[in-house]
Structure 1
Amino acid sequence: MAASLIRIASYNIRKARGLDQKRQPRRTLEVINRLNADIVVLQEADKRIRPRNPAIPRNLIETDTDFHLVEVSKNGVSLGWHGNAILIRDPAHVTQITCLDLPGLEPRGAIRMDLGIGGGLSIVAAHLGLRRRDRRAQLAALCDATADSRHAVIAGDFNEWSHRKGLEPLAGRFETHVPGRSYHTRRPLAALDRFALSQGLTVKNAGVEQGDLARRASDHLPVWSDIAIPSAATC
């Protein structure tokens, strides 16, 4: 992973269930491999019913990819925390992991992963709620949870259809970047999957994976951003 430029991808994998209603974890992993990302944050990575078994078997991540699963499971079974999971190519950069509870009507959470690259970077993997009032409260909570971060990226399914409303808590510290329309894969109309970058970070390139396989593997298309991180000397 380069210290100055990393590719972060976000993908709501819909519990590895494609539009054909078949659960095919290897298909999901093939889509992930095609993103050429350094870090991939996943939403709906675990099944909903307790004990929240993983949608993708852990051994397949080991055999079918060169990613490492960031371990956040509280029960030793799930891949993630509230369905959020993180895959990273080089775990040596990880300095700290924090599981966050988020406010709202539905049980929601997020994962903060701190990396010792550049001048330091916190990546937050999140899947925000269905109600706008909850999303605003959740974004405010994530701003508070990253207040001590030199640089931070919030990545995930923001569940927000508007480009103007619902993102007010980010104003002044974060800038939201939308790689493109990612939902629904049959006819992408909404840019639900986004990145929010704190001041000092720069998006060099971004996009939506729109290959045939991605259009079958989930109801969301994966998005990615190439993000430049200032070196410690320039921070």
Structure 2
Amino acid sequence: MAESPDKPLRLLTYNIQVGLHTRDYGHMVSGAWRHVWPSRSQSGNLERIAELLSEYDFVAIQEADAGSLRTRDCNQIEFLAERAGFNHCGYIVTRDLQPVARHCHGWMARVAPVSQESHSLASRIPGRAALRLRFDDALSDLTLLSAHLSLGGRDRRRQLEQLSDLAGDDRRVVLMGDLNSGADFLRDHPALRARGFRPAHDAPKTYPSWRPRRALDQVLVTPDLELLSVSALPLQLSDHAPLAIDLRVPDS
């Protein structure tokens, strides 16, 4: 965890695609069976992901599984948190397709939040949700929102309006996750703009991980926060690349 006001907070958001390594579009088709049946490579991929996560103060994870047939009953959020040395984690199941799959996304942190909430997001296809966590001075009085948004533009506009409402009147808010949106879409959203949310100036491309062409994974902050760096890491263990963020919290 950041030890002083001068040391940036290190955040990461990662769509892990259930720990399934994907090397090209053809592999996504030929390996589709891995989304419903255990894969021998999955455990090793999760170990490598956990090694990466261990370097961060807070992590948001999308497209994980909370324990089902396809993961041999492994709750991937809890597994990653334990392996990466996080004392605090949580998750929300977004689509429960037991016994085959339990779609979820989650979080892990070095310090415990003072509150944590899950919120369903409007979507024509049910299964989209957001997590809202508030921290005290141990994590610079931050509010962290993480989400995995829909593909359709109409749904995403409604979901972003909900996320803006979830920010409330909190001064220091970070919104991060697989937002399936480019920076211009986010920058032009009326509710986000009114609330003061700013995306990264040059949002790095994260999808597909083997040849990134689209900036689908994003981070936005309110004016009291400063993005020092935002980078897509060259890790090809999912169809998305991880998005790493160094954040400075100015003195009150």
TM range (shorter): 0.7 to 0.9
Secondary structure of 1:71 counterpart: strand
Q: Does structure 1 residue 43 correspond to structure 2 residue 62?
A: yes
Do structure 1's residue 142 and structure 2's residue 180 form an aligned pair?
no
Number of equivalences = 221
How far is the alpha carbon of 1:142 from its aligned partner? 0.6
Using CA pairs below 8 Å that are at least 6 residues apart, which structure has the higher relative contact order?
Answer: 1
Q: Residues 72 and 219 (structure 1 numbering): CA distance in 2 closer, same or farther, change over 3 Å?
A: closer
> What is the one-letter code of the residue matched to 1:44?
E
Deviation at 1:208, TM superposition (A): 1.2
**2:198 corresponds to which letter in structure 1?**
E
Q: Secondary structure at 2:184's aligned position in 1?
A: coil
Amino acid at match of 1:175: R
Structure 2: how far apart are the matches of 1:99 and 1:57?
Answer: 15
- 1:176: which partner in 2? 199
Residue identity in the other structure for 2:108: L
Specify the alignment match of 1:229 in structure 2: 249
Unaligned runs of 5+ in 2: 24-30, 32-38
Q: How does 1:117-132 map to 2 (within 5 A)?
A: 117=137, 120-132=141-153
- Secondary structure at 1:27's aligned position in 2? helix
Q: Could you say if the C-alpha distance between residues 195 and 32 of structure 1 is closer, same or farther in structure 2, counting changes exceeding 3 Å?
A: farther
1:34 aligned counterpart, secondary structure:
helix
Distance 1:186 1:84 in 2: 23
Q: Distance in 1 between matches of 2:104 and 2:144?
A: 16
Matching of residue 19 in structure 1 with residue 40 in structure 2 = no
Please give the alpha-carbon distance, in whole angstroms, between the structure 2 residues aligned to 1:208 and 1:42.
15
Structure 1: how far apart are the matches of 2:215 and 2:80? Answer: 30
Q: Identity across aligned pairs (percent)?
A: 26
Moved more, 101-110 or 14-23: 14-23
Q: CA deviation at 1:84?
A: 1.7
Give the CA deviation at 1:31.
2.9
SS in 1 for 2:183: coil
TM-aligned CA distance change 1:170 to 1:105, over 3 Å: same
CA RMSD of aligned residues (A): 3.0
Whether contact under 8 Å (1:25, 1:57) holds in the other structure is no
**Separation in structure 2 between the aligned mates of residue 147 and residue 165 of structure 1, nearest angstrom:** 21
Listed one character per residue, the Cα deviations across residues 139-170 of structure 1 (whole Å, up to 9, x for unaligned) are 1001101113121111100112x432355131
Structure 1 stretches of 5 or more lacking a match?
none
Q: 1:8 aligns with which of 11, 26, 29?
A: 11
Alignment of 1:68-83 (within 5 A): 68-73=87-92, 83=104
